[in-house]
Amino acid sequence: MKLIQCRFSSGQRLPLLVQAGDATPLPILIPFIYVQLKLRHRAYNTAAAHLRAIQAFYAYAKSRDLDIDEAILACHFEAILALLDGYAIWLQSGRHADNLIARIGKAGTVLFQQISSRTRDQYLRLLKKYLSWCVTRYIPRARQNSATQADINVVFADVADVIERRFESHIINARPDRTRYRSLTDTQLQIVRTLIRPGAAENPFPERLQLRNWLMIELLLETGIRRGELLKLYTTDINKGSQHAYVSINDREHDPRDPRVEEPALKTHGRTVGISAQLYEVYERYIQRDRRPLRDGKPMKLLYRYLFISDRGRPLSIRALSNVLDRLFLTIELAHPGLLPTLSAHDFRHTFADHFLAYLVEKRGHDLERATDELRRVCGWSETSTMPRRYAGRYLAESANLHNAQRTSAAWSRLDS
């Protein structure tokens, strides 16, 4: 069994779990239906994450001589849930066999890379959603000719309750871990900007790529856009209006002209975000002089409208952007060990949100509710998203701590005098 990507002529991409082998791969039936009915409007990467969790459980069940599709169609959920204890251990132990006593003296085969406890919990959560959906879909179908509606409801409630309880006992962190929420401090940000500046002696990138890389990071910092939104920008998406320059963020998922295997996606709503006149001037320079790679001393003719292009003349990939940030992080780590735990595009989004919210409250004099609404708009979150409130809560907590430190310091000063 393997996970593949199916791409239609319209540009739409669909993840599929298929049978492994030399023959034409056929989709695994129930995961295929699940993606079509339950996940059809979700982003490609989200659907693929669900299928990876399902794939791991199917692989484990196969090693225990159980066909999950057959068990679901027969509504033998008790047989499926009986595997859960061993499956949880199997995930945590690097996906070796869970019957360690029986395997003494034998080297277990690792089928997948070892995963963290956080990823393990995510696998279990996604599997729980899948099995709950299967219960909703298949128990009524299996029993509609042999039981009354009341009997069906009782069976459904019992199985759904068992699934809930069994998974609760195995998920380590009931609430998702949010320790990766981190914006850059002023010192960290100054070092990043010093190193990435084109022409800087410590800049770790070739001269031909320095302006492109600087422009990417400055766009992330000035607009708070996500990496997928950054990589989906066209050359025509940055413009100068009557009052200020701005970036237009448009939904171009499932673009048939996008050649990237892992197509960047727009996770939040489309919008326009104002930028500085200085950044717009650098953008103009990049378009006119630096966007097209050179071949035999001459600029290449590009086939794509995307703003950020690789050395081969193709749209920059998610992996290539990650490599840029990894190389920048390594340079910082060598010069300033321990200054940064990681460096990702999302760190810049956190930094933007914190700075933008503080600017609205402290410089523009907005109340926190108005500032939170503006943050929601500029970051593209829906009206029901809780993310703006999280940033507001973080701002309030830091403000409260600062005020308390100032208050207690003033008290010590009075005592000393």
Looking at residue 353, what is its pLDDT? 95
Residues 201 and 313 in one domain: yes
DSSP one-letter string for 99-120:
-TTTTTTSPPPP-S----HHHH
Residues 241 and 361 in one domain: yes
Q: Point out the residues of the chain with pLDDT beneath 50.
A: 98-111, 147-156, 174, 176-177, 179
| CA atoms 341, 345, 351, 357: torsion sign | negative
Residues 140 and 278 in one domain: no
Token pair belonging to 241: 């209006």
Boundary residue ending a domain (142, 168, 194): 168
Token pair belonging to 312: 């081969």
Looking at residue 175, what is its pLDDT? 53
Looking at the domain assignment, is residue 338 inside a domain?
yes
How many domains would you assign to the chain?
2
Per the document, the length of the chain is: 417
Looking at the domain assignment, is residue 188 inside a domain?
yes
User: CA torsion angle for 359, 361, 363, 366 (degrees, to 10)?
Assistant: 120
Contact criterion met (CB below 8 Å) for 56 and 122: no
Looking at residue 173, what is its pLDDT? 63
Residues 318 and 367 in one domain: yes
Looking at the domain assignment, is residue 175 inside a domain?
no
Looking at the domain assignment, is residue 174 inside a domain?
no
Residue with tokens 């920048």: 328
Query: 229 lies in which domain range?
Result: 180-417
Looking at residue 94, what is its pLDDT? 61
Looking at residue 150, what is its pLDDT? 47
The residue among 168, 130, 148, 166 whose CA lies nearest residue 47 is 130
CA distance 212 to 58: 44
Residues 143 and 186 in one domain: no
Looking at residue 247, what is its pLDDT? 96
Boundary residue ending a domain (137, 168, 199): 168
Looking at the domain assignment, is residue 197 inside a domain?
yes
**Angle at CA of residue 378, ends 175 and 184, nearest 5°:** 60
Looking at residue 296, what is its pLDDT? 84
Looking at residue 41, what is its pLDDT? 78
Looking at the domain assignment, is residue 204 inside a domain?
yes
The backbone torsions φ and ψ at residue 249, rounded to the nearest 5 degrees and listed phi first, read -110, 115
Looking at the domain assignment, is residue 173 inside a domain?
no
Boundary residue ending a domain (115, 144, 168): 168
Looking at the domain assignment, is residue 97 inside a domain?
yes
CATH of the domain at 303: 1.10.443.10
Residue with tokens 């399902």: 54
Condensed to tens digits (0 to 9), the pLDDT of residues 173-201 reads: 645 445 455 889 999 999 999 999 999 99
Residues 284 and 257 in one domain: yes
Looking at residue 95, what is its pLDDT? 58
Looking at residue 148, what is its pLDDT? 47
